[in-house]
Amino acid sequence: MRVHGTTHQKPLELFAAEKAALRPLPICLYDVAAIRPARANSQFRVVVETNRYSVPAEHAGAPVTLKLYPGHVCIYRQDKLIARHVRSYDRHQDIEHPDHPKALLRQRRKAADQKLLQRLLALTPRAERFYQALAERRLNVTHHVRKIVALSEIYGVEPAARAIDDALELEAFSCEYIANLLEQRRRVLPEPGALHVTRRQDLLELELPEPDMSVYGGDAAPPAPSTVEGSNVEGSQGHVPDEVAKQQQPTQMTLDFKTAPDPQVNADPNVNADPNDPDNGATHEPK
């Protein structure tokens, strides 16, 4: 309400006269950012006061414009905002947005997949047909290609190429089929050896039938039944049957010996004497 010393008027009265000449305020706030030119390096980083701020990977090496605000940092490329970070007042900090390296990772993954495909196609001339059929039947074809290349490193190039050719003939398009073929051909089964029985109770209990001797056209009596060690010869009561016991009895042999000449009949000792006999015709008693 007081009178101004320069205008010699009261400010309230002067404002009423100048109010019609005033313009409205701008819709956007006044830009108080410090603007600086910069360039993103090969690691898609922009350095601001020793701190490194990331930009999308596709803008690596491109010229950018920085707008430094008290609370955040904005990075523009050709008047387009490409990155925004909270401003850090520390030193030598690396600040990265998680979405910025995705394009680079996608590109690297694609390059790695191309290298794997080239290695698969180099295994055998028929690998291209196998890959085309594999891509038609499998959604995750990259997974199968990666597995097959890894199997070629484990089992060798030639066995893997042979497995691919066989899988193509069998129309088995999968890394599991390739692994099965390689494993089956690599497995060496041990040769069967002789059976060594170390304990008596482990012997086989065998019962051999009596042979039929009539096929030979003879009238000879059938021989005693063959027995095998460990066979069940005894009966249920633990004794030998009578028929088997008779057959196992030893055969009695009768020996005939010639008796010496009676001394009463041949009084002469030289008669009927064998000159080669050391006893010179002596009498012998029958044994």
Quickly state the pLDDT bin for 218 (edges 50, 70, 90). Answer: low
Q: What's the CA gap between 257 and 271, in Å, rounded?
A: 20
Nearest Cα residue to 175 out of 131, 217, 241 = 131
Give yes or no for residue 257 having a pLDDT over 50: no
Q: What's the whole-number mean pLDDT along residues 177-183?
A: 90
pLDDT for 230: 43
The answer to whether 116 and 150 have CB atoms below 8 angstroms apart is no
Copy the structure tokens of residue 267.
């009084």
Q: How far apart are the first and last CA of the chain?
A: 176
Nearest 10 degrees: CA dihedral of 134, 139, 143, 149? Answer: 10
- Kindly report, residue by residue over 31-66, the tens digit of the pLDDT: 889 999 999 998 999 999 999 999 999 898 999 999
Domain chopping of the chain, boundaries: 34-100, 104-186
Handedness of CA 55, 58, 60, 62 (dihedral sign): negative
pLDDT for 93: 93
pTM over 0.75: no
